[in-house]
Amino acid sequence: MKDVITIKQIARQLNVSPSTVSRALQNHPRISAHTRDAVHALADQLKYLPSTTARNLQRGRTGVIGMVLPEIRENFFSEVINGVEELAFEHHVTVALYQSHDRFDREKQILKVLASNRVDGVLLSVAKETQQNHHIQEVLDRQIPLVLFDRIPANLAAHQVECNIEKGAYEATKWLARRGHQRIALLNGPYTLVASEERYRGYITALVEEGLPVENALIKRIDLTAQDTVLKMQQLLTSNTRPDAVLAFNDYVALDAMQVCRNHGLVVNQDISFVSFANLPLNTYLEHPPLASVEQHPYKIGFMAAEILLNVINGKIAPENLQKVTLEPELVVRDTDAPEAG
């Protein structure tokens, strides 16, 4: 490897001090135009690149923020990353990306690594296994700025950015009910996720308002794996009160459940209708996607979470001035011509 060109080497060739070179490269007004031009010319000739690390260390920073999320392969989280990176790139900040793979022990270890490496801040969406907050509180106790996004644990005083999941579930269930569906099932996530309870509340509220019965047999909890989704959807189809519609935790769950229906000889969105969350782009390529999906605005979530974090890091928001942003969901209806229930 070629030797890295340093400020000291430039200073030595021009017979000036390293501090003079440093100021000249930053166009400091106290440096004469002649010296400034000479420094820039030699720096260009030698292909000098300033050390961002050294500059950040002078300011007591690393120039790195940690981002911890369940799975990159999920399109929702990929879009969140896009939002974060857009702002981070603009501010010359490096994003260290980690996946918990929905495991509590892995999430705990990642946060420990980020803290020990003294990152400037952390963006976190908790794993489905996470039921305790002490590892997150340890990060906050170290006075490392932290912003929670999307999957946010209860009873934790921290900056937050989320979408109104309860309202999304409410609107989706109302939409199905007003199309004539009488037995609307819920394929919900695990109890450990606050978002699962938010979906449940919205679903129940809509059923009650529409005068539809709340049947426990139509409510299934899944661990968000394809295998468990298949099992729970088969249980719904073989029960005495087979649903005529399903509200799914997200589009991935809906697609797995829809395949179960096809395997049982049912026509998706005719014999049984589907509405879900996430509004995946791939749905536009499917012949029979969910009739509607709740848009949760993942790009905005990522952008706004990064914006809050950078503002805290840069002193524009006091650490104790906790920010909570809740985005409004949008029910995206794909097929208004699909036959109604009944």
Q: Domain locations in the chain?
A: 7-50, 63-162+298-327, 165-295
Contact call for residues 119 and 144 (beta carbons, < 8 A): yes
Place of tokens 């690149």: 49
Contact call for residues 105 and 132 (beta carbons, < 8 A): no
d(CA 187, CA 232): 8
CATH class, range 63-162+298-327: alpha beta
Residues 6+ apart with CB under 8 A from 309: 65, 121, 122, 123, 145, 146, 147, 159
CATH topology match: 63-162+298-327 vs 165-295: yes
Predicted TM-score (pTM) of this structure: 0.83
14 dihedral zone (left: phi>0; alpha: psi -120 to 50; beta): alpha
DSSP element (H, E) containing 159? strand 159-163
Place of tokens 């109302």: 174
What's the one-letter identity of residue 115? A
Rg (CA), the chain: 26
- Closest residue by Cα to residue 285 from 30, 75, 47: 75
In order along its 342 residues, the chain shows pLDDT tens digits of 456 788 888 889 999 998 898 888 888 888 899 999 999 999 888 888 776 555 555 555 679 999 999 999 999 999 999 999 999 999 999 999 999 999 999 999 999 999 999 999 999 999 999 999 999 999 999 999 999 999 999 889 999 999 999 999 999 999 999 999 999 999 999 999 999 999 999 999 999 999 999 999 999 999 999 999 999 999 999 998 899 999 999 999 999 999 999 999 999 999 999 999 999 888 887 888 999 999 999 999 999 999 999 999 999 999 889 999 999 999 999 865 555 555
Q: Do the bridges between strand 324-327 and strand 292-295 make them parallel or antiparallel, or are there none, so unpaired?
A: unpaired
What's the one-letter identity of residue 208? V
Place of tokens 């509004």: 279
CATH architecture of 165-295: 3-Layer(aba) Sandwich (3.40)
